[in-house]
């Protein structure tokens, strides 16, 4: 699984060479992992700076006790600048990883979050 996580586009032959198995055995194992839900998806890692997203920031979000959790998280998921949302212990409710073009873009995002 480690070899597959490093490069999900590896062929079964390449994966087999990395783990000492033949391609058909790797194919069967990967299919079984997919069927059992251990592998949920394959994704691409994008180069944020090449896309013009030069600023990565972590934003703490504080919510009130009467905040509708589902509505709030749905609103966060609709903001393309937000890459990750983590629930945290302590005063903050969420910690969000965001990517923006500039500090001005970050300020605009922060204004939308308020």
Report the CATH number at residue 60.
3.30.70.920
CA dihedral 100, 106, 88, 48 (to 10 degrees): 10
User: Is the per-residue pLDDT at 114 higher than 90?
Assistant: no
pLDDT tens per residue across span 49-74: 999 999 999 999 888 878 888 888 89
42 within domain boundaries: no
Can you give the pTM of this predicted structure? 0.68
**Is residue 27 domain-shared with residue 75, that is, in the same domain?**
no
pLDDT tens per residue across span 8-47: 999 999 999 999 999 999 999 999 999 999 999 998 888 9
pLDDT tier for residue 1 given thresholds of 50, 70 and 90:
confident
**Is residue 65 domain-shared with residue 102, that is, in the same domain?**
yes
Query: Who's near 55: CB < 8 A, 6+ residues apart?
Result: 99, 100, 101, 102, 103, 105, 106
18 within domain boundaries: yes
Query: What's the domain range around 15?
Result: 2-35
């Amino acid at each position: 699984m480690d070899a597959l996580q490093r490069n999900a586009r590896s062929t079964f032959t390449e994966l087999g060479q990395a783990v000492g198995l033949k391609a058909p055995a790797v194919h069967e194992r990967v299919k079984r992992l997919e069927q059992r839900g251990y592998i949920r998806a394959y994704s691409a890692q994008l180069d944020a700076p090449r896309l013009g997203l030069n600023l990565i920031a972590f934003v703490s979000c504080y919510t009130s006790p009467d905040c509708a959790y589902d509505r709030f998280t749905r609103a966060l998921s609709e903001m393309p600048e937000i890459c990750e949302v983590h629930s945290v212990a302590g005063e903050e409710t969420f910690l969000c990883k965001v990517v923006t073009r500039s500090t001005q873009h970050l300020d605009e995002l922060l204004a939308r979050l308020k």
